[in-house]
Amino acid sequence: MTRMVEDIERVSVGLGERAYDILIGPGLLAGVGEAAAKLGARAVGVVTDETVAGLHLPTVERSLAGAGLAFDTVRVPAGEASKSFDMLARVVDGLLAARIERGDLVLALGGGVVGDLAGFAAAILRRGVRVLQAPTSLLAQVDSSVGGKTGINSPRGKNLIGAFHQPSLVLADTATLDTLPERELRAGYAEVAKYGLIDDPDFFAWLEANPRAVFCAGPDRIRGIATSCRAKAAVVARDERETGDRALLNLGHTFGHALEADVAYDSARLVHGEGVAIGMAMAFRFSAALGLCPEEDAARVERHLSAVGLPIRVSAIPGPIGGAEALFAHMQQDKKVSRGRLTFILARGVGKSFVARDVDPARALDFLRRELAPAA
Amino acid sequence: MTRMVEDIERVSVGLGERAYDILIGPGLLAGVGEAAAKLGARAVGVVTDETVAGLHLPTVERSLAGAGLAFDTVRVPAGEASKSFDMLARVVDGLLAARIERGDLVLALGGGVVGDLAGFAAAILRRGVRVLQAPTSLLAQVDSSVGGKTGINSPRGKNLIGAFHQPSLVLADTATLDTLPERELRAGYAEVAKYGLIDDPDFFAWLEANPRAVFCAGPDRIRGIATSCRAKAAVVARDERETGDRALLNLGHTFGHALEADVAYDSARLVHGEGVAIGMAMAFRFSAALGLCPEEDAARVERHLSAVGLPIRVSAIPGPIGGAEALFAHMQQDKKVSRGRLTFILARGVGKSFVARDVDPARALDFLRRELAPAA
């Protein structure tokens, strides 16, 4: 079967002189060379991880060569541990060795880790080289490849070091999702559900009615991903640097990041999307506990996330978890802390999330204690 | 004698929402706390080097404490070697440990190295924290603290890794220049002379007539520094990201950087400003050799730089220097290389510099050979 043009969805991110398109559909990686050439690049520095290289690098290299572009590839180990200063230095050095110049292009081929690391490397290489994001995981396609947040982790917390660096193009080849382990696909789905929970109750209802939509190849998957990208693009266009509204995208992330920090980013125990799923369920339970949100809406969130196999409670994480105080301390080292005050994303219901900057720390701590109680 | 208001010059950098002021005059460091408080910071992360800390940190800490600000200081070794990935990681970690948040301030207290390093650390800390530049060297006051270029060196070249990150304020305390070694002061002077050579022949003539103006305390020094800052601010406002005109500021830098790289950034042999002085003299000799510029103008440049004690020939650098081919190779790894073509800043005369993107590499190489010939 030949690829049909109708298979491809286009989402535009309206950021003035930094505006760019997200293309979503199966088979796009085969056209990455043509896309890079159209952007005026002469050379392309591919950054990818060992796993993705084995699956998709041949397609990409064939396409780049076919478009007459010079290219060189920097490979990093797969996994969150690559979001480190050491690996950043190695990637930047590899791109310099490849003589990637200001008019050229860095191609981030991989999931969220590669996108964040390569995007950051592009941001600081010669004080800024363009990046083409080619996300190969669901998480990266619906979230991290869009919006320009790039960065690495510090031993003091996740994503504490980085840059805002918008891509020049995002190519989300949905066929790559068929090579993704089920657990990764599920984890990415947490971010899809998030967009419904933030401000699109119809989308959430559609996901409830079609829980396999995004998991299986076909037009529904593309629709789900495009809807997610469109939601993210709208928020990013309103608030590129997260001075206000963009914080909504952190629904589930304040709790989630604290859990990830607590397991020391051990992906065998918890991957980002799972942390977000538990975090979103917690945000809704916390909202309900504060009397802001109907219990029924919190239950709906739990039901849908559970239906697709995502965890909704801290107790789902294998192994020991720190106490409420430890989690609270992690939350206070979050980037989004302002004047020592925590920012929570809470909800008045499904699709009715809001930024809360004045939550009583004592109530948050009390909520964490109840969440972590053995009976919970 | 009390400090008089007339002593302070203000230069505004017109960059829209990133606009900021440069204040120039003696004794400004004593008011840094007040300035930081006015910017709305709650905490200040001071970055400085061991030498500057010994001279000026007590004044700064007194001022910050007096303004009721929390502060913490990260010290790095003095010298260009601190512009490394390792030191960047240490500075960022120190600022995270000090819990510098997005609304807070990084204070770069020192010369060009500290300004570039601290400015870059601020750019990537939590994806961007504001920086107040408090330059304590002439070079930093007239050049590196203004315009937002920050960065570190790579083993493959100088300033190849960095960010554009405009400061929120520049406090150029001219009294700090009295603690500067004569060699440093002279080196910084190369950048002052540069502004005359680029497009301000009257300023160059004034410097020729007053060769000690910037070297001695007093209104002439402030005038010379303010004129330099104004020149830089104008170029930066026109072309923040160096897509065109801003390249003029690199007069003398393409040759200079190659020389610095050739001595492996050994400041005992060559500091940046000395490289720029030799590089400017070379740029004028090259322009004359190409028939673009009267020999007399090249001779004027040589005379004035020599008069203040700056080197004008490669042979002034102690120790062995690589051949023409080696210098040429260094020039090709410059950030400003585009499509493999070198960009030179050449001149049609004093105050008549221009960006030349089509210089025949063979003629450049030939020129280098003549410059490096033992007889030269």
Beta bridge partners of residue A48, listed in sequence order: A75, A109
Q: Any catalytic annotation for residue A101?
A: no
H helices within chain B, ranges in order? 32-38, 50-66, 85-97, 112-124, 138-139, 182-199, 201-209, 219-238, 253-262, 272-289, 295-307, 324-332, 361-372
- Do A125 and B97 lie within an 8 Å CB cutoff? no
B83 CB neighbours in chain A (<8 A) are: none
Catalytic residue from among B184, B250, B285, B300: B250
Question: Of B83, B165, B186, B257, which residue is the catalytic one?
Answer: B257
Q: Is B205 on the interface with A (CB under 8 A)?
A: no
CATH top-level class for A182-372? mainly alpha
Q: Do A97 and B156 touch (CB under 8 A)?
A: yes
pLDDT in tens, B162-174: 999 999 999 999 9
Asked if B335 reaches chain A (Cβ–Cβ under 8 Å), the answer is: yes
The answer to whether the annotation marks A352 as part of a ligand binding site is no
List pLDDT tens digits, range B332-362. 876 666 666 788 999 999 999 999 988 999 9
Q: Smallest Cβ distance to A149: which of B42, B127, B159?
A: B127
pLDDT computed for residue B7 by the predictor: 84
Please indicate whether residue A9 is annotated as part of the active site: no
pLDDT at res. A375: 59
Residue B124 contacts A where some CB pair is shorter than 8 Å: yes
Quick one: pLDDT at residue B297?
98
Looking at the complex, does the CB of residue A341 fall below 8 Å from at least one CB of chain B?
no
- From the list B125, B132, B165, the residue with the least C-alpha distance to B148 is B165
Which residue in the list A75, A253, A330, A336 is annotated as catalytic? Answer: A253
Whether domain A5-179 has CATH 3.40.50.1970: the reply is yes
Per domain, the residue ranges of chain A are 5-179, 182-372
- Cβ of residue A151 closer than 8 Å to a chain B Cβ: yes
**Ranges of residues in chain A whose predicted pLDDT is under 50:** 1-2, 376
Interface of A with B in 265-304 (CB under 8 A): none
Catalytic residue of the set B75, B83, B130, B149: B149
Average model confidence (pLDDT) across chain A = 93
User: Would you call B253 a catalytic residue per the annotation?
Assistant: yes
3-state secondary structure of B146: coil
Q: Which tokens in the block code for residue A215? A: 């998991």
Structure tokens at A15: 């950021």
Place of tokens 């020391």: A264
Predicted confidence (pLDDT) at residue B228 exceeds the cutoff of 80 = yes
Q: Which of A42, A127, A163 lies nearest to residue B127, judging by beta carbons?
A: A163
Contact residues on chain A for B334, CB-CB shorter than 8 A: none
Alpha-carbon span B185 to B7, nearest angstrom: 20
Judge whether B158 is closer than 8 Å to chain A, CB to CB: no
B194 in Cβ contact with B169 (< 8 Å): no
Mean pLDDT across the stretch B107-118?
97
Say yes or no for a CB contact (<8 Å) between B156 and A96.
yes
User: In the prediction, which pLDDT does B2 show?
Assistant: 44
Mean pLDDT of chain B: 93
Question: Is the pLDDT reported for residue B6 higher than 90?
Answer: no
Question: DSSP letters of B286-314?
Answer: HHHHTTSS-HHHHHHHHHHHHHTT---SG
- Cβ-Cβ pairs closer than 8 A, A with B, add up to 90
Residue B127 a catalytic site member = yes
Across the strands, what pairs with B107?
Answer: B46, B132
Interval B180-213: pLDDT, tens: 999 999 999 999 999 999 999 999 999 999 999 9
Which of A83, A165, A232, A330 is the catalytic position? A232
- The answer to whether A336 is annotated as binding is no
B158 is in an annotated binding site: yes
pLDDT in tens, B33-75: 999 999 999 999 999 999 999 999 999 999 999 999 999 999 9
Inter-chain residue contact B103 with A156, CB threshold 8 Å = no
Domains B5-179 and B194-372 in one fold: no
Quick check: B341 contacting A, CB < 8 Å?
Answer: no
Rg (CA), chain A: 20
Whether A177 and A185 have beta carbons less than 8 Å apart is answered as yes
- Give the span between the Cα atoms of B232 and B190, in whole angstroms: 14
**Chain B contact for A154 (CB, 8 A cutoff):** yes
Q: Which of A42, A159, A338 sits opposite B339 (nearest CB)?
A: A42
Residues 168-197 of A with CB under 8 A from B: none
Residue A112 marked in a binding site: yes
Query: Residue B338 has what DSSP assignment?
Result: B
Its sign, for the CA torsion A46, A51, A54, A60, is negative
**B72: its two tokens:** 């913490």
Architecture per CATH, domain B194-372, reads as Up-down Bundle (1.20)
Known catalytic membership, residue A153: no
User: What is the reported pLDDT for B335?
Assistant: 60
- Whole-number Å distance between alpha carbons of B348 and B199: 11
In the predicted structure, residue B1 carries a pLDDT above the cut 50: no
Phi then psi dihedrals of residue A172, to 5 deg: -100, 95
Residue B149 has its nearest CB partner, among A89, A127, A162, at A127
- pLDDT number for residue B337: 62
Cβ distance A101 to B338 less than 8 Å, yes or no, reads yes
Residues of A in contact with B163 (CB under 8 A): 123-124, 127-128, 163
